Amino acid sequence: MIPFALLLLAAAPVQDTPQQGDITVRAPLPATPQTPATMVVEPVAMMIAACDRDGDAKVERYELEECVAASLAAFDPNKTGKLRYIAFGDWALRYLGDRAALPSPYEVDRDNDGEVTLAELQDHFSRLFARYDRDGDHAISRAELLTYRTMPVDARGPTAGRRPEKKDDAPDGDKRRRGGRR
Protein backbone atom coordinates (compact mmCIF):
# COMPACT_ATOMS: atom_id res chain seq x y z
CA MET A 1 0.00 0.00 0.00
CA ILE A 2 2.84 2.41 0.83
CA PRO A 3 4.53 1.98 -2.57
CA PHE A 4 1.20 2.80 -4.25
CA ALA A 5 0.82 6.05 -2.19
CA LEU A 6 4.38 7.09 -3.06
CA LEU A 7 3.62 6.46 -6.72
CA LEU A 8 0.55 8.73 -6.53
CA LEU A 9 2.54 11.52 -4.85
CA ALA A 10 5.25 11.33 -7.47
CA ALA A 11 2.70 11.55 -10.28
CA ALA A 12 0.80 14.56 -8.82
CA PRO A 13 1.99 17.95 -10.15
CA VAL A 14 3.46 20.33 -7.59
CA GLN A 15 1.55 23.67 -7.43
CA ASP A 16 3.88 25.62 -5.11
CA THR A 17 5.29 27.79 -7.87
CA PRO A 18 3.02 29.67 -10.27
CA GLN A 19 2.75 27.96 -13.63
CA GLN A 20 2.86 29.84 -16.88
CA GLY A 21 -0.61 31.27 -17.43
CA ASP A 22 -1.51 31.36 -13.70
CA ILE A 23 -2.81 34.68 -12.38
CA THR A 24 -1.73 35.93 -8.98
CA VAL A 25 -3.99 38.48 -7.28
CA ARG A 26 -2.58 40.48 -4.41
CA ALA A 27 -4.96 42.38 -2.15
CA PRO A 28 -4.05 45.88 -0.98
CA LEU A 29 -2.80 46.28 2.55
CA PRO A 30 -5.44 47.28 5.09
CA ALA A 31 -5.83 51.02 5.54
CA THR A 32 -4.27 52.60 8.60
CA PRO A 33 -4.97 56.09 9.92
CA GLN A 34 -2.42 58.70 8.91
CA THR A 35 -0.26 59.96 11.73
CA PRO A 36 -0.93 63.66 12.21
CA ALA A 37 1.82 66.06 11.25
CA THR A 38 4.01 67.21 14.07
CA MET A 39 5.24 70.26 12.17
CA VAL A 40 2.79 72.56 10.44
CA VAL A 41 2.96 75.98 8.82
CA GLU A 42 0.17 78.47 9.41
CA PRO A 43 -1.16 80.18 6.26
CA VAL A 44 0.14 83.56 7.42
CA ALA A 45 3.57 82.00 8.01
CA MET A 46 3.60 80.74 4.40
CA MET A 47 2.89 84.28 3.22
CA ILE A 48 5.67 85.65 5.41
CA ALA A 49 8.10 83.08 3.98
CA ALA A 50 7.12 84.18 0.47
CA CYS A 51 8.12 87.76 1.36
CA ASP A 52 11.83 86.85 1.28
CA ARG A 53 12.86 89.17 -1.57
CA ASP A 54 16.63 88.67 -1.51
CA GLY A 55 16.54 84.87 -1.30
CA ASP A 56 18.62 84.52 1.88
CA ALA A 57 15.95 82.27 3.50
CA LYS A 58 15.27 84.94 6.13
CA VAL A 59 12.54 87.57 6.10
CA GLU A 60 13.57 90.92 7.51
CA ARG A 61 11.08 93.51 8.71
CA TYR A 62 11.53 95.82 5.70
CA GLU A 63 10.89 92.87 3.33
CA LEU A 64 7.69 92.03 5.17
CA GLU A 65 6.48 95.64 5.17
CA GLU A 66 7.09 95.99 1.41
CA CYS A 67 5.41 92.65 0.73
CA VAL A 68 2.31 93.48 2.80
CA ALA A 69 2.00 96.88 1.11
CA ALA A 70 2.31 95.32 -2.36
CA SER A 71 -0.25 92.63 -1.51
CA LEU A 72 -2.80 95.19 -0.33
CA ALA A 73 -2.16 97.38 -3.38
CA ALA A 74 -2.93 94.41 -5.64
CA PHE A 75 -6.49 94.37 -4.26
CA ASP A 76 -6.91 98.15 -4.05
CA PRO A 77 -7.42 99.31 -7.66
CA ASN A 78 -8.76 102.73 -6.57
CA LYS A 79 -5.66 103.35 -4.41
CA THR A 80 -7.72 104.07 -1.29
CA GLY A 81 -5.26 102.26 0.99
CA LYS A 82 -7.98 100.08 2.50
CA LEU A 83 -9.98 96.92 1.84
CA ARG A 84 -13.56 96.20 2.84
CA TYR A 85 -14.17 92.77 4.39
CA ILE A 86 -15.19 91.02 1.16
CA ALA A 87 -12.11 92.34 -0.63
CA PHE A 88 -10.06 91.25 2.38
CA GLY A 89 -11.47 87.74 1.87
CA ASP A 90 -10.26 87.86 -1.74
CA TRP A 91 -6.86 89.04 -0.48
CA ALA A 92 -6.76 86.16 2.04
CA LEU A 93 -7.68 83.64 -0.65
CA ARG A 94 -4.79 84.78 -2.82
CA TYR A 95 -2.09 85.31 -0.19
CA LEU A 96 -3.13 82.93 2.61
CA GLY A 97 -4.77 80.18 0.55
CA ASP A 98 -8.31 80.45 1.96
CA ARG A 99 -10.85 83.19 2.62
CA ALA A 100 -11.28 81.99 6.19
CA ALA A 101 -7.56 81.76 7.00
CA LEU A 102 -6.31 83.81 9.90
CA PRO A 103 -5.86 86.67 10.42
CA SER A 104 -9.51 87.51 9.92
CA PRO A 105 -10.59 91.03 8.95
CA TYR A 106 -12.29 91.34 12.35
CA GLU A 107 -8.95 90.74 14.04
CA VAL A 108 -7.05 93.19 11.84
CA ASP A 109 -9.66 95.99 11.73
CA ARG A 110 -8.81 97.67 15.06
CA ASP A 111 -11.24 100.59 14.78
CA ASN A 112 -14.15 98.35 13.63
CA ASP A 113 -15.08 100.63 10.73
CA GLY A 114 -15.61 97.71 8.32
CA GLU A 115 -12.39 98.38 6.43
CA VAL A 116 -8.83 97.12 6.80
CA THR A 117 -6.32 99.89 6.16
CA LEU A 118 -2.69 99.45 5.20
CA ALA A 119 -1.68 100.81 8.61
CA GLU A 120 -3.87 98.21 10.39
CA LEU A 121 -2.52 95.39 8.23
CA GLN A 122 1.09 96.55 8.76
CA ASP A 123 0.45 96.79 12.51
CA HIS A 124 -0.92 93.24 12.60
CA PHE A 125 1.99 91.85 10.60
CA SER A 126 4.40 93.73 12.86
CA ARG A 127 2.95 91.84 15.84
CA LEU A 128 3.22 88.58 13.88
CA PHE A 129 6.86 89.40 13.09
CA ALA A 130 7.60 89.85 16.80
CA ARG A 131 5.83 86.56 17.59
CA TYR A 132 7.74 84.55 14.99
CA ASP A 133 11.17 86.12 15.62
CA ARG A 134 11.96 83.78 18.52
CA ASP A 135 15.71 84.32 18.57
CA GLY A 136 15.43 88.12 18.41
CA ASP A 137 17.79 88.58 15.45
CA HIS A 138 15.28 90.86 13.63
CA ALA A 139 14.84 88.30 10.85
CA ILE A 140 12.51 85.32 10.58
CA SER A 141 13.99 82.02 9.43
CA ARG A 142 12.01 79.12 7.98
CA ALA A 143 12.52 77.20 11.23
CA GLU A 144 10.92 80.02 13.20
CA LEU A 145 7.84 79.85 10.97
CA LEU A 146 7.19 76.20 11.81
CA THR A 147 4.63 75.35 14.45
CA TYR A 148 5.21 72.16 16.41
CA ARG A 149 2.00 70.38 17.22
CA THR A 150 1.84 67.66 19.84
CA MET A 151 -1.26 65.68 20.65
CA PRO A 152 -2.08 62.25 21.97
CA VAL A 153 -2.44 59.72 19.16
CA ASP A 154 -3.53 56.09 19.15
CA ALA A 155 -4.11 53.57 16.35
CA ARG A 156 -7.30 55.40 15.30
CA GLY A 157 -5.65 58.82 15.06
CA PRO A 158 -5.79 61.88 17.35
CA THR A 159 -7.57 61.25 20.63
CA ALA A 160 -8.29 64.89 21.43
CA GLY A 161 -12.02 65.50 21.67
CA ARG A 162 -12.91 61.81 21.52
CA ARG A 163 -14.94 60.40 24.39
CA PRO A 164 -13.72 57.25 26.10
CA GLU A 165 -15.48 54.08 25.03
CA LYS A 166 -18.23 52.69 27.25
CA LYS A 167 -17.50 49.44 29.01
CA ASP A 168 -20.55 47.20 28.58
CA ASP A 169 -18.91 44.24 30.30
CA ALA A 170 -19.39 45.65 33.81
CA PRO A 171 -21.82 43.56 35.89
CA ASP A 172 -25.19 45.13 36.79
CA GLY A 173 -24.23 45.36 40.44
CA ASP A 174 -21.40 47.76 39.57
CA LYS A 175 -23.58 50.16 37.58
CA ARG A 176 -25.06 53.18 39.33
CA ARG A 177 -28.80 53.12 39.69
CA ARG A 178 -30.94 56.20 39.45
CA GLY A 179 -31.72 57.54 42.90
CA GLY A 180 -29.76 54.84 44.66
CA ARG A 181 -26.30 54.12 45.87
CA ARG A 182 -23.77 51.67 44.64
Q: By percentage, how much of the chain surpasses pLDDT 70?
A: 68
pLDDT of 22: 78
Angle (CA) 128-133-139 rounded to 5° is 105
- DSSP letter at 38? S
Kindly state the DSSP code that residue 95 receives in the 8-state scheme.
H
Kindly report, residue by residue over 9-54, the tens digit of the pLDDT: 666 555 556 567 777 778 777 766 666 667 889 999 999 999 999 9
- The count of other CB atoms within 10 Å of the CB of residue 91 is 20
Distance (Å, rounded) from C-alpha 66 to C-alpha 125?
11
CATH topology of domain 39-148: Recoverin; domain 1 (1.10.238)
Instruction: Please give the Cα distance from 59 to 66 (Å, whole number).
Output: 11
- In which element (H, E) is residue 107 found? helix 105-108
pLDDT value of residue 89: 96
Which of 117, 107, 41, 46 is closest to 76 using CA atoms? 117
- Chain segment 63-76, per-residue pLDDT in tens: 999 999 999 999 99
Among 92-96, 115-119, 176-180, the range scoring the smallest mean pLDDT is: 176-180
pLDDT band at 124 (very low <50, low <70, confident <90, very high): very high
Q: Which residues contact 138 (CB under 8 A, 6 or more apart)?
A: 60, 61
Taking the domains of the chain in order of start, what are their residue ranges?
39-148
Bridge partners of residue 39, in order along the sequence: 148
Other beta carbons less than 10 A from residue 144's beta carbon: 18
Position 113 scores a pLDDT of 96
Rg (C-alpha) for the chain, rounded Å, is 32
pLDDT digits (tens, 9 = 90+) for 92-106: 999 999 999 999 999
